[in-house]
Amino acid sequence: MRLRNLVVTFILVVGCSAEEAPPSTLSFTPDRFRAHVAFLADDLLEGRDTGSRGYDIAARYVASQFDSFGLKPGGTDGSWYQQVPLQRTTRGTERGTVTISGPAGERRFTHADNVLVRPSSREAELDVEAPLVFVGYGIEDQRLGLNDYQGLDVKGCFVAALSGYPKGLPSEEGAHVSAINAKVAQEHGAIGVFELSTLQFEKVFPWDRMLQYSSDPKFDWVEPNDKAHAEAPLIRAGGFLNAPAAETLFAGAERSFADVRQEADQEKGAPRGFALKTRIRVQSEARWERVTSPNVVAILPGNDPVLAKEYIVLSAHLDHLGIKEVPGAKADDDRIYNGAMDNGAGIATLLEVARAAAQATDKPRRSMIFLATTAEEKGLIGADYYAHFPTVPIGQIVGNVDLDMPLLTYEFTDLVAFGANHSTVAKYVEQALSTMNVALSPDPMPEQGIFTRSDHYQFVRQGVPAVFLITGYANGGEKAWGEFEGGVYHSPRDDMSQKFDWKAGAKFAEANYRITRALADSPTPPLWYEGDYFGDVFASKAARAQR
């Protein structure tokens, strides 16, 4: 799971119905599941960081497993791999400064002192100064009835935008519109974007936790023209301002930052933007290196002469955070981020579903792609690269099931299916789970903005209906998630010393197998629902289903 930064309170409601199971000879065992996770989370793999030897060994393991199941290589040039060209951007000796000047004088913040300056992937020595405009949440979306740029001229300016989205917006739509705020700013002619911490944001991602990632390099995939890919290439600079720095931006303005933040914390609170009286200067140095790291891809051809041209992609990220400093740790403390749950558990699920599908006596009708991605923790980059340069035509990819960090420390009795209710995928998920006596629950943590935080989102952006399941809050799940999020997630403690319930792993694999098979065997491919927001935004020409 990737760290992201979004906020809201809305609950998705999905019902359950009972239908019959797909026939199969299923054999999901706790031992096999454990064996995969134990290998992937071993210290020998050093946390599987993108571009590292440990990651490459993990990739070789996955390819070798695919091979043993009798799958076909699905990478480039007949190999198991799709090499992803990456640019790694690190800070130079000038780590980054933000100077704010205006009616209250001048204040300079260095990187990690209440500001985070994003190192530039396109300008090695950046020095840019411009006036500032506050743009509320910086959202412009007709369907959601939001236009934060109305009446504002931001040409040549930096925009200051609240992180997240107004309380009360559906969490998945909200997570999406918030994730594209730089693109919207660029369309209005802005040259920089600073996100401002909200009260809600502080609760979910306290500043200490933001700091934990402040020295991490930034990754982008490299375009065929050899430039680092950017969603908003005309946005030259940006970053994040913690409250004390954000307050100085509002010196002499018509409203204080505290006032604006209070309004934003109300239900549906969406403060209107206005020009600020301050200017901002951003200086930073960046160093770039080229790195290559593979996605691992396997194909299981479908056995239906017509449907075999269509593909269901089952994806899971293989990378994790590698070896790095742990805040507050002593010299001899563990520094290996093994990523047993995140995402050894997801890869184990991917491998088990691949094995079961390849060995099933009743072969899937559609073809299946099994995709282990790189650089997910760097911003869903391996999956974005695959979705831009798929090894089969993107129009033939009709559905995606993503696997990321199911929590397997308790006997789960419910699952949460992010994204399912936008398309007929919901129906297949309900059917598959009802045969296993597993309930389907609404998103229990909408404030986490999970929908844009894993690889399936990159398929959604290419118009492909997708779903991503995690274990739910029932039967001890809420407590288990609380403990995991409260200090294990993205720490060296996410290792094999956790109290895994390996039976839960086998059961999770079976659930995902049944869902994937239902998608692969259905006479019609998954369809976006009529009037669905994501279908309208990303697949406006695709066939629809009635809800």
Binding site for Zn ion (CB under 5 A): 1, 342
Tokens representing 165 are 């989205």
> Closest CB to Zn ion among 324 and 427?
324
Whether 505 and 34 have beta carbons less than 8 Å apart is answered as yes
**Which lies closer to Zn ion via its Cβ, residue 148 or residue 404?**
404
Q: Per the structure block, which two tokens stand in for 293?
A: 């790291």
**Closest-CB residue for Zn ion?**
1
Block residue for tokens 């792609």? 369
We find the least distance from the C-beta atom of residue 263 to Zn ion, in angstroms, to be 33
Identify the residue whose tokens are 């397997």.
Answer: 408
Q: Residue 1 or residue 425: which is nearer to Zn ion going by CB?
A: 1
In the chain, % helix, strand, coil (3-state, to 5) comes to 30, 25, 45
Q: Which is nearer to Zn ion, 24 or 491 (CB)?
A: 491
> C-beta of 54: minimal distance to Zn ion in Å?
16
State both tokens at 343. 């995402």
Query: Taking the complex as a whole, how short is the minimal distance between the CB of residue 2 and Zn ion, in angstroms?
Result: 6
Q: How far is the CB of 120 from Zn ion (least distance, A)?
A: 25
Q: Which is nearer to Zn ion, 1 or 488 (CB)?
A: 1
Residue 370 beta carbon to Zn ion: minimum distance, rounded to whole angstroms = 20
In sequence order, which residues have a C-beta less than 8 Å from that of residue 122 and are 6 or more positions away? 227, 228, 230, 233, 236
How many separate helices (H) and strands (E) can be counted in the chain?
15, 23
Q: Around Cβ 259, how many Cβ atoms within 10 Å? A: 13
Distance CA 33, CA 138 (A): 44
- Rounded to whole angstroms, the Cα distance separating 114 from 104 reads 18
SS3 371: strand
Q: Which of 238, 261, 245, 364 minimizes the C-alpha distance to 303?
A: 364
Closest CB to Zn ion among 342 and 352? 342
The least CB distance from residue 343 to Zn ion, in Å, is 7
Q: Which is nearer to Zn ion, 285 or 342 (CB)?
A: 342
Give me the least distance between CB of 342 and Zn ion, in Å please: 4
For Zn ion, the closer of residues 36 and 320 by Cβ is 320
Nearest to 341 by CA among 103, 24, 33: 33
- Supply 329's token pair: 């740790």
The answer to whether 528 and 465 have CB atoms below 8 angstroms apart is yes
**DSSP assigned state of 457:** H
For residue 288, the minimal CB distance to Zn ion (Å) is: 24
Nearer to Zn ion, 158 or 219 (CB): 219
Between CA 416 and CA 285 the distance in angstroms is 43
Peptide bond into 421 cis (omega under 30): no
What is the smallest separation between the CB atom of 365 and Zn ion, expressed in angstroms? 34
* Structural contact between residues 409 and 475, judged by C-beta atoms closer than 8 angstroms: no
CB of 286 to Zn ion, least distance (A): 24
Q: Judged by CB, which is closer to Zn ion: 62, or 375?
A: 375
Query: Is 142 in contact with 185 (CB distance < 8 Å)?
Result: no
